[in-house]
Structure 1
């Protein structure tokens, strides 16, 4: 995409920093406090002059007192500055991650169906849930490492023991207090980690459902609802991350303050020893320098190169996803409630990489209110033909008209608002029964309307038998329901939408006889006064269709009513005979 790696890094950095431009004040505060925290080390070194000159050379009692107090004050300043820096940085990085995730999720909802056909859902989840969190590494940790240098703790402890083991023991005496602080903070962080895992699970749940159910989201106009659910989960993760970072920063500040207090005691003891002539100025300076270096946080010992590469690699992945082309939605006309007449004019379509085209020169007219069944062997193009109506795909050739107007002239939202879909693979959400029936229209319909839709779908009896009725959670994709119950909820959802065009894609093929009878009765209620296309496997379910279209290898082979086709010797009569023989065995 870019001519070389340097340009790539520069472009990516500029694009990442572009998200921080609206929050430049907080970013400036972070840089200032980071600089203050880093400047405390040379300031501390500057305090060595009055300490050595006054305490060791001139033996001034006042210098022995005020210098340790100044050091405590200096580290108090450092702790406050570090806390503000960590809080501001975590706020900025959390805001960056949240905004990128929301933009990626919004892009995901608007990607064409063929993108999902060509990309595994796991990669999409990884990009939104994990890659985006690495982007902040390139923008924040690099700056932190650049400003603050790290050192080796083991080498510093060895130097302290070599210089004066007694003073080192005084330093180590505060370790139990520090350990208690660490234990307390660890418990706090563990609780926050559990909360973060829960929030991440919620986020992944929304992602999974929005990917697996993307056709239902599109057809029922649920983009706004899903984006709201996602934004809520993303905000919860950001708030929890700020709590984690602020807890860690507070722990660092308190720990450093405790150690600084012990350092004040050490300085006082060393000064007394120097007055007695038992401690040289050179030894004291060596010990003091090592102590200061020991306070540096372990987090400074990181590989800046690795951080940069991880962040840039993640940024490449994130921005490549954001730059994916959305669905072709150039239509300007708004589709009111149509009569529902459909015309396919010389329609052809092929999937990328397929050996042959899925549809070849399809010409078909469906009158308003007519029920047309599509039958044929697997791979004959039945489902592909119905997928072109809500524009999950656009035809490679020809056009499709609704009430005499090309589908592409209408906006996707207005077109899909007039189409309902019930398929063999029922798509339900981990929500209540009522929320699934009213999906896409939550807040727009009354409980009475939801109840009537359930009654029309023959679902009211089993819903009322549930523990919480319409407020019962049904589990992921309705795992707590039987196949027939799930199918009837999907039918209730379509009934409530009351769209003039209905697509039934093998809605009863996976049901037992009793469930099929209930579902078929609900479907007959749903099909009244609607233009209906039925993709059927069981020919017994479409005997009463106005017309039956028999498809073979992407072409229309036969058209007629059930008795007409049965009387012939074509594909339909052969399929019917084979199914009858299989059913009688």
Structure 2
């Protein structure tokens, strides 16, 4: 959040209204309908004069007929135009929310990996799910109130001026005071709205973690701790809402007090005028009706400050998110017939805010079709190194090349089309088995292709034994499957993609012996005729690799085959000895 800057209210409005530009005809219809509906209010107040003077004072029978009929006609016009206004406003609001949500989701898919590293998922989700709805208050709901009530106020004030301008000046005298109150309170409300968005994000984060980590919560008895965290987050939201309500109510109360004082004076002087004969009964009734009708729209206009500041704070949050830089993709080259040679040339990398470099001057060339295993203790830089290949991160210095081309000279889409990834933390979607495997290939995929990929991944047997076979819904992240089954689905997905470069990030480290054998067999099918980089925890799984690269503290310290490294009696031999002793 520290990277985000405040945006002026005017700039926010310009950006919000830009989304309504394609629907300007509906917008115009909405404005016209609300203007007509607003104009009926001063017209109703004006009808009081002929109704009272003609019908009651002068005993004119025609006034008692046409004036009530005119009132019915006014309310008929008002009902029709209000319906058109409500319908068009809701339609435009829906279009605005949908357009913003879709643009934010598209932005979400194009953000660099380090954005996700530095921003909690709860805050990201609350922006798309919660903040966007509040934007409509700054976008169109406020416009509706401002235009409709503004026209009503303008019409009623004009009627008051026409009826008696001297009395009306008393009413207008309170406007500067109201303006100052609205401005002071508006700043306070906007700050509270920003804080509330943070609180909602925190609540979403805690809720998501409690759901995702429910097994850990249960087994370690964390129910009370999580409940207390949730209570604190919910309490913060409650306090903030009370503060917003109190601030808004105080603003409304003070404003209404000044307006009431002005109205009291007006009533006093109007009664004095009527008593002296300068005011007819119709004039007084028309003035009194307009004055009373003026109270409600002025109240709504002064109260709209809370909705406005909430909306502006939300719009600021949304547009700060939309202004985040996407992944840099200046590459023009589109890959064809990739051989799979990967070269790291003097590559160094630093994570933002880290005390030491994750990689230091790494030089490594992997030949086409070669299987290279990366081993080393946790934090040695293995995962960071392979994360540079699909350009999840950019090197701080040096360059990574594929078939002699620097990765940043290759289109990101083209680069990633030629890379498949299978990791220890398998990511599956709450969809069918078929859809999860087919995810590995863009464009149309035949059922037979999916079946063949499943067979090669040793997954066909367990899939066919599932209740609905390939059409079975596997649950969120495959919760209905075992670890080995999830892993084999990920391998089937990679097989279907058929990419020339394959990254295996500890793909078997969390499996039991039987599952590991099945997965290892599937991996052997997957690794055929591909350039493969394997991050391995169990050294027994990479003994047949063409080369083994040993890393320590971001640097390569040993390279060789399994036999060569054992013979050299270095770090790899020590790691192998420790694991061999532990497995006895």
| Structure-2-length-normalised TM-score | 0.73
Structure 2: gaps of 5 or more residues: 151-203, 213-279
| Alpha-carbon spacing, 1:29–1:283, altered in 2? closer, same or farther (3 Å) | closer
Q: Does 1:40 align with 2:40?
A: yes
| 1:508 alignment counterpart | 508
| 2:337 alignment counterpart | 337
Q: Distance in 2 between matches of 1:295 and 1:304?
A: 14
| 2:79 alignment counterpart | 79
Q: Distance in 1 between matches of 2:45 and 2:59?
A: 19
Contact 2:53 2:282 in 1 (8 A): no
Q: Distance in 1 between matches of 2:473 and 2:291?
A: 59
Q: Deviations over 1:186-241 (max 9, x none)?
A: xxxxxxxxxxxxxxxxxx9xxx9xxx9xxxxxxxxxxxxxxxxxxxxxxxxxxxxx
SS at match of 1:348: strand
| 1:108 alignment counterpart | 108
Q: Which 10-residue stretch deviates more, 285-294 or 28-37?
A: 285-294
Q: Deviations over 1:441-487 (max 9, x none)?
A: 36511000000000000111111111111111111111111111110
| Alpha-carbon spacing, 1:90–1:345, altered in 2? closer, same or farther (3 Å) | same
| 1:226 alignment counterpart | none
Q: Does 1:365 align with 2:369?
A: no
SS at match of 2:49: helix
What pairs up with 1:156-195 in 2 under 5 angstroms?
none
| 1:311 alignment counterpart | 311
| 2:125 alignment counterpart | 125
| Alpha-carbon spacing, 1:453–1:144, altered in 2? closer, same or farther (3 Å) | same
Q: Distance in 2 between matches of 1:473 and 1:565?
A: 46
Contact 1:148 1:300 in 2 (8 A): no
| 1:390 alignment counterpart | 390
Contact 2:440 2:493 in 1 (8 A): no
| 2:455 alignment counterpart | 455
Q: Distance in 2 between matches of 1:79 and 1:288?
A: 24
SS at match of 2:354: coil
Q: Does 1:544 align with 2:551?
A: no
> How much has 1:57 moved relative to structure 2?
2.4
Q: Deviations over 1:52-99 (max 9, x none)?
A: 233212434443344333222211211111111122222222212211
> How much has 1:376 moved relative to structure 2?
0.3
| 1:68 alignment counterpart | 68
Q: Which 10-residue stretch deviates more, 93-102 or 533-542?
A: 93-102
Contact 2:53 2:281 in 1 (8 A): no
What pairs up with 1:350-429 in 2 under 5 angstroms?
350-429=350-429
| 1:474 alignment counterpart | 474
Q: Deviations over 1:407-466 (max 9, x none)?
A: 111100000000000000000111111110011536511000000000000111111111
Q: Distance in 2 between matches of 1:282 and 1:409?
A: 82
Q: Distance in 1 between matches of 2:528 and 2:440?
A: 22
> How much has 1:18 moved relative to structure 2?
2.1
> How much has 1:145 moved relative to structure 2?
2.9
Contact 1:337 1:500 in 2 (8 A): no
SS at match of 2:309: helix
Q: Does 1:522 align with 2:511?
A: no
Contact 1:350 1:359 in 2 (8 A): yes
Q: Distance in 1 between matches of 2:400 and 2:133?
A: 43
| 2:178 alignment counterpart | none
What pairs up with 1:239-254 in 2 under 5 angstroms?
none
Q: Distance in 1 between matches of 2:539 and 2:383?
A: 16
Contact 1:344 1:399 in 2 (8 A): yes
Contact 1:337 1:418 in 2 (8 A): no
Contact 1:457 1:489 in 2 (8 A): yes
Q: Distance in 2 between matches of 1:336 and 1:117?
A: 32
Contact 1:371 1:534 in 2 (8 A): yes
Contact 1:509 1:537 in 2 (8 A): yes
Task: Tell me the C-alpha RMSD between the 2 structures.
Answer: 2.8
Contact 1:41 1:292 in 2 (8 A): no
| Alpha-carbon spacing, 1:534–1:122, altered in 2? closer, same or farther (3 Å) | same
| 1:554 alignment counterpart | 554
Q: Distance in 2 between matches of 1:394 and 1:381?
A: 14
| Alpha-carbon spacing, 1:292–1:76, altered in 2? closer, same or farther (3 Å) | farther
SS at match of 1:363: strand
SS at match of 2:101: helix
| 2:8 alignment counterpart | 8
Q: Distance in 1 between matches of 2:301 and 2:325?
A: 41
| 2:248 alignment counterpart | none
> How much has 1:32 moved relative to structure 2?
1.1
| 1:491 alignment counterpart | 491
| Structure-1-length-normalised TM-score | 0.73
| 1:321 alignment counterpart | 321
| 1:216 alignment counterpart | none
SS at match of 1:420: strand
Q: Distance in 2 between matches of 1:336 and 1:579?
A: 42
Contact 2:48 2:286 in 1 (8 A): no
Q: Distance in 2 between matches of 1:376 and 1:388?
A: 18
SS at match of 2:8: helix
Contact 2:432 2:473 in 1 (8 A): yes
Q: Does 1:26 align with 2:19?
A: no
> How much has 1:148 moved relative to structure 2?
4.6
> How much has 1:291 moved relative to structure 2?
12
Q: Distance in 2 between matches of 1:336 and 1:17?
A: 44
Q: Distance in 1 between matches of 2:298 and 2:482?
A: 55
Q: Distance in 1 between matches of 2:454 and 2:75?
A: 67
SS at match of 1:537: coil
Q: Which 10-residue stretch deviates more, 328-337 or 59-68?
A: 59-68
Structure 1: gaps of 5 or more residues: 151-203, 213-279
Q: Which 10-residue stretch deviates more, 59-68 or 491-500?
A: 59-68
Q: Distance in 2 between matches of 1:81 and 1:441?
A: 52
> How much has 1:12 moved relative to structure 2?
1.7
Q: Distance in 2 between matches of 1:308 and 1:81?
A: 25
Q: Distance in 2 between matches of 1:116 and 1:446?
A: 34
| Alpha-carbon spacing, 1:479–1:295, altered in 2? closer, same or farther (3 Å) | farther
Q: Distance in 2 between matches of 1:299 and 1:482?
A: 61
Q: Which 10-residue stretch deviates more, 465-474 or 452-461?
A: 465-474
| Alpha-carbon spacing, 1:575–1:302, altered in 2? closer, same or farther (3 Å) | farther
Contact 1:348 1:398 in 2 (8 A): yes
Q: Distance in 2 between matches of 1:378 and 1:139?
A: 50
What pairs up with 1:258-273 in 2 under 5 angstroms?
none
